Amino acid sequence: MAWSTRELGELAGTTVNTIRHYHRLGLLAEPERRLNGYKQYEIRHLIRLLRIRRLVELGVPLARIGAMGADAGITPETLRQVDADLAAESERLARARSDIAVILRDGAPADAPAGFESLTPRLSASDTSLIHIYSQLYDEEALDDLRRMVETDTGAVNGDFDSLAPDAGEEVRHNLAERVASSLVQHLIDYPWLSDPVRHLSNNAHVTRQTFVDAVVALYNPAQLDVLKRAGVLAQQRRGRSPVADSRNDRVRPA
């Protein structure tokens, strides 16, 4: 008996497009055609297609199936690697489901930074964006500390900083810098690595610093940048260190 492409797909529980894709990859041989030009699949094509589908169900990538040749078996080593890949994917999916549960529970945005879902409603758009960047620059231990910083920072200072107008006057900037500096000093005491974060970097120090500086300049208005600079100098002075204009530590903006 011979089948058309549609009939073969129905027998194998797949689609015409999938069969055509297997042809393009060289996984499934092209059948002979009838006089009318239609393909004429035989039992050997069905068996081969069912074998491919079984391997796909197990998670074997099509590239690996192709590398093994049309009739070669999949080795135990290949299956072990597939199993390891599936285990990693299962862990990723479990984390994703856990994150989604928190997002739905707390009404957080779907694109909230991983691990900060429950805290995102408290953060400004700029702070959220900066945390996204931090997640690519620092290791998990540093991000855990950042979460704790966000949890303990006061909402009053955050609100005043977030609403600071670009043309805010000198007195307003000075007073806010004093308050931000108080939070920053406490962070530097609680998390000493902030003064020398090299061991927590995911990238080299130069890339991290430049990315951090570029992000802060892009995300905050001139008055906010001025407050951050003043707060950094004040924090260093209060800790008994000489202020450095281009402070060596990549400070976490109190969120």
255 residues of the chain, pLDDT tens digit each: 789 999 999 999 999 999 999 999 999 999 988 777 788 999 999 999 999 999 999 999 998 887 655 455 788 998 999 999 999 999 999 999 999 998 999 888 899 998 898 888 888 999 999 999 999 999 999 999 999 998 887 677 888 999 999 999 999 999 999 999 998 898 989 999 988 889 999 888 888 889 999 999 999 999 999 999 999 999 988 887 544 434 433 444 543
Domain boundaries of the chain, sorted by first residue: 5-67, 75-106, 111-238
What fold is seen in the domain 5-67? Answer: Multidrug-efflux Transporter Regulator; Chain: A; Domain 2 (1.10.1660)
- Please tell me the pTM assigned to this model: 0.69
Q: For the chain, how many helices (H) and strands (E)?
A: 11, 2
Cα angle, residue 253 at apex, residues 199 and 240 outer, rounded to 5°: 70
Half-sphere exposure of 192 (CA within 13 A, CB side): 0
The residue type found at 246 is D
